[in-house]
Structure 1
């Protein structure tokens, strides 16, 4: 009897361990975070999930041109600044924001939304704190998983596929 109970318990634990491992491996858009204190003294933190291109077209099958995109996957991407800053010359108060974009072939609109703690697709324009427009560039190399970089100068760059989309925070 003890042997059967022990065997059943071992199988039960083994099943749940394998299931948890399989779920970890299935995570298609892993969480990432980047943080930098700029030369102007503002600390910028971006918490996001990294979708992969997977052979799809940016502006078509993923992040469609002309439509608000959550700029990542899963929960809203959180953009935080430790003090009042200027983004592309426009004022943005210290705090946390949901980061959204409207991708385009010739320009991208970067949106800082006051509602940051939410599922990424729950966007409401009435909660926008700031919108700026920037020009995308061709990335020097292909980036499969969407990635943010923050330079000491305050240049924030989204790299994904063959795209590089940058904005300046001062």
Structure 2
């Protein structure tokens, strides 16, 4: 008898839920929103962070895709400033002073720019971190500028990717990889920071 009552109750509950679902309005999908999301995902906003020697280091950037294009020397002309990502300029923030290529990058937030070339590339940290692309880039606002030799690969790295790798208690390496190119440079967290 208990089994029959339980079965009747189960059928009644399922029937009520089914009717409730029929009475609820059907949510319509706006396909134009989906297109916007797909378009935006071509260069999604992303970031990478690491803590080294007590310094919190953060890189924020839009990550474009290769999509069967020639990037360096094609889409991005050689010997011209590039915002090192898509859309807004890439920015780097550090909570302590860093020494990079013999120069001090004081704690703070900076625009990160690169000048690719067929030889050495120029890496730039600039005071103006909040700008669209390179629209407001001004060389007089550069605080650290140095050259690096790019590394080349036969394999294509589809999406732009930054990494911060800890190599010691107070040392690390910044790297950027996209298309068939990788650049990297070491840094040291200054011990004299508070």
Same fold (TM over 0.5): yes
Q: 1:76 deviation in Å?
A: 0.8
Deviation, 1:55, is 1.9
Report how far residue 23 of structure 1 moved: 0.5
Give the count of matched residue pairs.
Answer: 158
- Report matched runs for 1:9-88 at 5 Å: 14=28, 17-27=30-40, 28-38=42-52, 40-88=53-101
Cα contact 2:127–2:143 (8 A) shared by 1: yes
**Separation in 2 of the partners of 1:139 and 1:90?**
29
Could you report, residue by residue, the CA deviation over 1:81-131 in whole angstroms, capped at 9, with x for unpaired residues? 110110122111000000000001221110001000111122111111110
User: Which range is displaced more, 101-110 or 53-62?
Assistant: 53-62
Is there any run of 5+ residues in structure 2 with no aligned partner, and where? Answer: 1-24, 189-194
Q: Measure how far apart 1:140 and its partner are.
A: 7.3
In 2: Cα distance, 1:140 partner to 1:95 partner: 37
SS for the counterpart of 2:37 is helix
Q: Structure 1 unaligned runs (5+)?
A: 1-9
TM-score normalised over the length of structure 1: 0.86
Alignment of 1:159 onto 2:177: yes
Question: Retained in 1: the 8 A contact 2:81–2:134?
Answer: no
The two structures, once aligned, show a CA RMSD in angstroms of 1.8
